[in-house]
């Protein structure tokens, strides 16, 4: 028996016929989320790492996230000048 078109679908209707995904899928999703935070929301990454449980490893990760956030706020012209000086390229 078909449901009328105006009735909302429930979770059971949406999940009908789906198989549970393997636990390894979580790793892929977590890595993708971290890459997106690194590229587009470094401040959010810092806040996220600060909310992790207190531990030596998480403190190290939080420090690296803060370093990354500071690097993301460097103007591209300063990066270019730094690379030019590092490589000792003469400007014409």
pLDDT over 90 (residue 15): no
Task: Identify the pLDDT of residue 37.
Answer: 82
Give me the chain's average pLDDT, please: 83
**What whole-number distance in Å separates Cα of residue 25 and Cα of residue 48?**
21
pLDDT over 90 (residue 4): no
SS3 41: coil
**What whole-number distance in Å separates Cα of residue 70 and Cα of residue 51?**
19
- Pick the more confident residue, 73 or 17: 73
How does pLDDT run across 30-69, given as a tens digit for each residue?
899 888 888 888 899 899 899 989 999 999 999 999 999 9
Task: Identify the pLDDT of residue 20.
Answer: 75
Domain boundaries, the chain: 43-92
- Pick the more confident residue, 17 or 47: 47
Whether 36 contacts 66, CB under 8 Å = no
pLDDT over 80 (residue 88): yes
């Amino acid at each position: 028996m078909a449901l009328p078109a105006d009735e909302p679908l429930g979770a059971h209707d949406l999940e009908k016929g789906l198989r549970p995904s393997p636990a390894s899928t979580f790793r892929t999703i977590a890595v993708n989320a971290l890459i997106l935070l690194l590229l587009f929301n470094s401040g959010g990454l810092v806040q996220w790492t600060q909310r992790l449980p207190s531990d030596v490893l998480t403190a190290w990760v939080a420090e690296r996230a803060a370093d990354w956030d500071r690097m993301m706020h460097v103007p591209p012209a300063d990066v270019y000048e730094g690379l030019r000086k590092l490589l000792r390229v003469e400007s014409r």
